[in-house]
A and B are shown apart, each in its own frame.
Chain A
């Protein structure tokens, strides 16, 4: 997964925010979901964001991916400011540079695993054949080549989330944004998904993972803690290693 990052000049941050603000509602109902967040993620870095419920983690991730617009502040992706982009430009950005993984998986129910993975490639204008080949490779990579023809309803939560990860990777994004990717999973499935994400990190994929789950820190380079819409703590972790992950999975399995 170095090809996408290879286009970056040097090692400047892939992702950067400046004084990011997000407010919902007004008057008495005003909620300050984000309060001046400053965040940077370097190419190839895996950043974990933790914090109590309602601290603004999902909001932050949605702003990073251009799914919502900030009330104030800036979001820069690969040297381009994206917070003021038109919806059309944002759409192009999402299909070319960003991969999303959601807690609720958000797979299309009527599409097979293979078709779900192909979809972003088709939206990006790839030929059906290219999309199919690429999807097959990725399903193999997430260990689901034998489930390619299954519908989401016929798969376990862990399998669904691995399909979602494969889908996030299909257009070789600059960055993968994952919102509680293990939130709906049991320990075994969590370990599968973490191993997968760790593999991505090891291959140089830039990752931002929002989570409640302390085990995620095992695969992250840096941990950011949020509270009430602000970053309150930043911990540089010893790089997550296969060893530590193996230890973790051994513990859980």
Chain B
């Protein structure tokens, strides 16, 4: 018992002796645990609302739709859909319902919508649940909730539909179609079927009018969904000649929806498009999927940087630790005691970081998990489960343990005499760089030599900036991508930007912490050589410029690497070719990274340069 107490007292005293280092360590670990928490919380945030929406709206298992083909003389034949409703395994259905397209204008924003004609009486399958206002009536349209949110429209508002004035009768949610802007019926195709089906004939379409799609054809791409009375839908169909029918099918075995679809799939442009409820769910997921990928990817990147920062911190303390080890051993401490003290320190910091990370993640989660209006119920209020807490703690403790292991082993092995002699880690010698630097102006000469003296730390600095910039550039690319295909109104996909922004901010914070760790270690370790350079005639400005450049050059290299890495990462994450963010953004990221690192260095460098050389050399010689 006494021994445990001793370990804790020694650990506590050491932490108090070096508060700045403990805080840096805590920051580095917290940034990683917070992101991990967010990623874990976001998992499973959307599946529940989808299920409850499906129940509340008698959501279909399969949605079959058949739209008029461009150039076809007659409209589509609903008989093909009727046949599906009698297929084995189908236990209930609704429809056929007519659908058409029109341009909807609300509050100055124009969006394309699919308009579905509906009875005023409730349907057995897919009866959208009205969340605001009333169900359809003549002259009154019901807006899919995601669309209503994107437009900022609510019941009672006036809208223009295909040039005619309508009133928003209500707002409703459905489990039969993904939300705005992912709405699409035939000639769209879904899921597995979409992959080997011929693309819809979109070439040589006649010009689009402002009010509706090209006559007899359909718009593709970002659109929303509204419900109209049957009479209104029919009158629009007559006006635009864009016409299709859909049926909603309920199967005896909902899980077998995909099998059902495969059994009835025909690779013909005149055959119905079949979507399963899983396809619809994927459409909902797609919105949050990207957020989750961003957060999970971000967590990995942050974890990597955290490891780097911790390695630098621990490495920077090594000399100091070794000396303490010598003292402990000299007064009779065992190597085990020494290792236990170091471990206790890191475990304490890791536990704090776990709590801080869980709280931060939990507080930040609501910003990201807003369910989108398109589904019922608030998205499961983010909860920190014991599993989440356990995983986060395990990761933090794992990192801390790893960080303790190396110095503990080294410290335990070090001879007492050598440890007391306080022999610092001898610097590395990079003969080539030293020779080259002789030709450079004095600040660069000092910079290159300082960077070459600790190559591993310099590489960590490059890597830290590279990883952060990778994340930021990837975020910017995905962001630019989203905006390139942004739907009118508030595209819910731009909500992804929130997750990206969050990850980007965390990366910036983490990179700054990392830079501070590296600068802290470098400044400590360059104190003697800087003072010496000044004794030999370098000016304080040259010395501080040299130290700043010694950080800025690796930062620049890291930023350039990160630029390539980020675009590459976005390319991997995105199925389509990525949109490269505008050059000014990329330039800003690179310059920003270098400027931040330089500014962070400049402060300690200037402080160091103000201290008198004589004093530094006197203390460093001791």
Binding site for B on A (CB under 8 A): 58-59, 62, 65, 67-69, 87-88, 91-92, 94-96, 100, 102-104, 106, 108-111, 115, 118-120, 122-125, 128, 131, 151, 153, 167, 171
Q: Specify the chain B residue showing the minimal Cβ separation from A171.
A: B537
Across the interface, do A67 and B614 meet the contact criterion of CB distance under 8 Å?
yes
Complex CA gap A100/B537 in Å reads 10
Across the interface, do B426 and A153 meet the contact criterion of CB distance under 8 Å?
yes
In the complex, what's the smallest C-beta–C-beta distance from A200 to chain B, in angstroms? 18
Across the interface, do A110 and B434 meet the contact criterion of CB distance under 8 Å?
yes
Across the interface, do A68 and B612 meet the contact criterion of CB distance under 8 Å?
yes
CB contact under 8 A between A111 and B434, given known A68-B613, A122-B442: yes
Complex CA gap A167/B537 in Å reads 12
Counting chain A CB atoms within 10 Å of each CB, the highest count among B429, B535, B541 belongs to B535
Q: Please, which residues of chain B bring their CB within 8 A of the CB of A87?
A: 539-540, 609
| Interface flag for B621 (CB, 8 Å) | yes
Across the interface, do A106 and B445 meet the contact criterion of CB distance under 8 Å?
no
Across the interface, do A88 and B540 meet the contact criterion of CB distance under 8 Å?
yes
Counting chain B CB atoms within 10 Å of each CB, the highest count among A67, A95, A118 belongs to A67
Across the interface, do B537 and A58 meet the contact criterion of CB distance under 8 Å?
no
* Partner of A124 from B439, B529, B537 at Cβ < 8 Å: B537
Which positions 407-436 of chain B face chain A at CB distance < 8 Å? 426-430, 434
Across the interface, do A94 and B536 meet the contact criterion of CB distance under 8 Å?
yes
Known: A95-B538, A123-B533. 15 other contacts (CB 8 A): A58-B618, A68-B612, A69-B612, A87-B539, A88-B540, A91-B534, A103-B621, A108-B532, A110-B428, A110-B452, A111-B429, A119-B536, A120-B537, A122-B445, A123-B537
| Interface flag for B453 (CB, 8 Å) | yes
Across the interface, do B537 and A91 meet the contact criterion of CB distance under 8 Å?
yes
8 intermolecular pairs with C-beta atoms under 8 Å apart? A91-B534, A94-B536, A95-B538, A106-B535, A110-B426, A110-B429, A115-B434, A171-B537
CB contact under 8 A between A131 and B438, given known A87-B539, A91-B537, A100-B535: yes
Q: Please, which residues of chain A bring their CB within 8 A of the CB of B621?
A: 102-104, 106
* Partner of A100 from B434, B438, B533, B536 at Cβ < 8 Å: B536
Complex CA gap A59/B618 in Å reads 10
Counting chain A CB atoms within 10 Å of each CB, the highest count among B442, B449, B536, B618 belongs to B536
CB contact under 8 A between A67 and B617, given known A94-B535, A109-B427: yes
* Partner of A123 from B426, B429, B536 at Cβ < 8 Å: B536
| Interface flag for B615 (CB, 8 Å) | yes
Complex CA gap A106/B613 in Å reads 12
In the complex, what's the smallest C-beta–C-beta distance from A251 to chain B, in angstroms? 30
In the complex, what's the smallest C-beta–C-beta distance from B146 to chain A, in angstroms? 63
Q: Please, which residues of chain A bring their CB within 8 A of the CB of B612?
A: 62, 67-69
Q: Specify the chain A residue showing the minimal Cβ separation from B618.
A: A58
Q: Please, which residues of chain A bring their CB within 8 A of the CB of B430?
A: 110
CB contact under 8 A between A102 and B617, given known A91-B538, A123-B442, A123-B538: yes
Q: Residues 521-539 of chain B: 1 if any A CB is under 8 Å from the residue's CB, otherwise 0?
A: 0000000110011111111
Q: Specify the chain A residue showing the minimal Cβ separation from B434.
A: A115
Complex CA gap A208/B327 in Å reads 39
Complex CA gap A185/B392 in Å reads 56
Q: Please, which residues of chain B bring their CB within 8 A of the CB of A109?
A: 426-427
* Partner of A95 from B453, B532, B536, B609 at Cβ < 8 Å: B536
CB contact under 8 A between A128 and B439, given known A102-B617, A123-B533, A153-B426: yes
State the 10 A-B residue pairs at the shortest beta-carbon distance, nearest first.
A95-B537, A62-B614, A67-B614, A104-B621, A91-B539, A128-B438, A68-B614, A110-B427, A110-B429, A120-B536
Q: Please, which residues of chain B bring their CB within 8 A of the CB of A124?
A: 537
Q: Residues 601-622 of chain B: 1 if any A CB is under 8 Å from the residue's CB, otherwise 0?
A: 0000000010011110110010
Complex CA gap A62/B614 in Å reads 6
* Partner of A110 from B453, B609, B613 at Cβ < 8 Å: B453
Q: Please, which residues of chain A bring their CB within 8 A of the CB of B449?
A: 108, 110
Q: What is the size, in residues, of chain B's interface with A at 8 Å between Cβ atoms?
A: 34
Across the interface, do B537 and A96 meet the contact criterion of CB distance under 8 Å?
yes
CB contact under 8 A between A67 and B438, given known A62-B614, A88-B541, A110-B429: no
In the complex, what's the smallest C-beta–C-beta distance from B212 to chain A, in angstroms? 76
Q: Please, which residues of chain B bring their CB within 8 A of the CB of A171?
A: 537
Complex CA gap A108/B430 in Å reads 13
Complex CA gap A104/B453 in Å reads 20
Complex CA gap A95/B536 in Å reads 6
Q: Specify the chain A residue showing the minimal Cβ separation from B613.
A: A67
Complex CA gap A115/B612 in Å reads 25
Q: Specify the chain B residue showing the minimal Cβ separation from A122.
A: B438
Q: Please, which residues of chain A bring their CB within 8 A of the CB of B536?
A: 94-95, 100, 119-120, 123, 167
* Partner of B537 from A62, A94, A128 at Cβ < 8 Å: A94
In the complex, what's the smallest C-beta–C-beta distance from B532 to chain A, in angstroms? 5
Q: Please, which residues of chain B bring their CB within 8 A of the CB of A62?
A: 612-614
Q: Specify the chain B residue showing the minimal Cβ separation from A118.
A: B438
In the complex, what's the smallest C-beta–C-beta distance from B393 to chain A, in angstroms? 42
Complex CA gap A167/B536 in Å reads 9
In the complex, what's the smallest C-beta–C-beta distance from B549 to chain A, in angstroms? 16
Q: Specify the chain A residue showing the minimal Cβ separation from B622.
A: A104
Complex CA gap A120/B537 in Å reads 7
Q: Specify the chain A residue showing the minimal Cβ separation from B533.
A: A123
CB contact under 8 A between A108 and B439, given known A62-B614, A124-B537: no
In the complex, what's the smallest C-beta–C-beta distance from A35 to chain B, in angstroms? 18
Counting chain B CB atoms within 10 Å of each CB, the highest count among A110, A115, A120 belongs to A110
Q: Please, which residues of chain A bring their CB within 8 A of the CB of B535?
A: 65, 67, 94, 100, 106
Q: Specify the chain A residue showing the minimal Cβ separation from B437.
A: A122
Which positions 532-569 of chain B face chain A at CB distance < 8 Å? 532-542
Which positions 450-490 of chain B face chain A at CB distance < 8 Å? 452-453
Q: Specify the chain B residue showing the minimal Cβ separation from A149.
A: B431
Complex CA gap A32/B29 in Å reads 48
In the complex, what's the smallest C-beta–C-beta distance from A140 to chain B, in angstroms? 20
Q: Please, which residues of chain B bring their CB within 8 A of the CB of A125?
A: 442
Q: Please, which residues of chain A bring their CB within 8 A of the CB of B533?
A: 119, 123
In the complex, what's the smallest C-beta–C-beta distance from A157 to chain B, in angstroms? 14
In the complex, what's the smallest C-beta–C-beta distance from A2 to chain B, in angstroms? 22
Q: Please, which residues of chain B bring their CB within 8 A of the CB of A96?
A: 537
In the complex, what's the smallest C-beta–C-beta distance from B495 to chain A, in angstroms? 52
In the complex, what's the smallest C-beta–C-beta distance from B435 to chain A, in angstroms? 8
Complex CA gap A95/B535 in Å reads 8
In the complex, what's the smallest C-beta–C-beta distance from A49 to chain B, in angstroms? 15
Q: Specify the chain A residue showing the minimal Cβ separation from B541.
A: A88
Q: Please, which residues of chain B bring their CB within 8 A of the CB of A119?
A: 533, 536
Complex CA gap A167/B532 in Å reads 12
In the complex, what's the smallest C-beta–C-beta distance from B184 to chain A, in angstroms? 65
Q: Please, which residues of chain B bring their CB within 8 A of the CB of A115?
A: 434
In the complex, what's the smallest C-beta–C-beta distance from A175 to chain B, in angstroms? 14
Complex CA gap A102/B531 in Å reads 13
Complex CA gap A118/B449 in Å reads 14
Q: Please, which residues of chain A bring their CB within 8 A of the CB of B532?
A: 106, 108
In the complex, what's the smallest C-beta–C-beta distance from B524 to chain A, in angstroms? 15
Complex CA gap A153/B539 in Å reads 28
Q: Please, which residues of chain B bring their CB within 8 A of the CB of A68?
A: 612-615
Complex CA gap A32/B556 in Å reads 49
Complex CA gap A152/B621 in Å reads 15
Q: Please, which residues of chain A bring their CB within 8 A of the CB of B452?
A: 110
Q: Specify the chain B residue showing the minimal Cβ separation from A69.
A: B612
Across the interface, do A151 and B617 meet the contact criterion of CB distance under 8 Å?
no
In the complex, what's the smallest C-beta–C-beta distance from B615 to chain A, in angstroms? 7
Complex CA gap A100/B531 in Å reads 13
Q: Specify the chain B residue showing the minimal Cβ separation from A152.
A: B426
In the complex, what's the smallest C-beta–C-beta distance from A197 to chain B, in angstroms? 19
Complex CA gap A191/B169 in Å reads 105
In the complex, what's the smallest C-beta–C-beta distance from B609 to chain A, in angstroms? 8
Q: Please, which residues of chain A bring their CB within 8 A of the CB of B426?
A: 109-110, 153
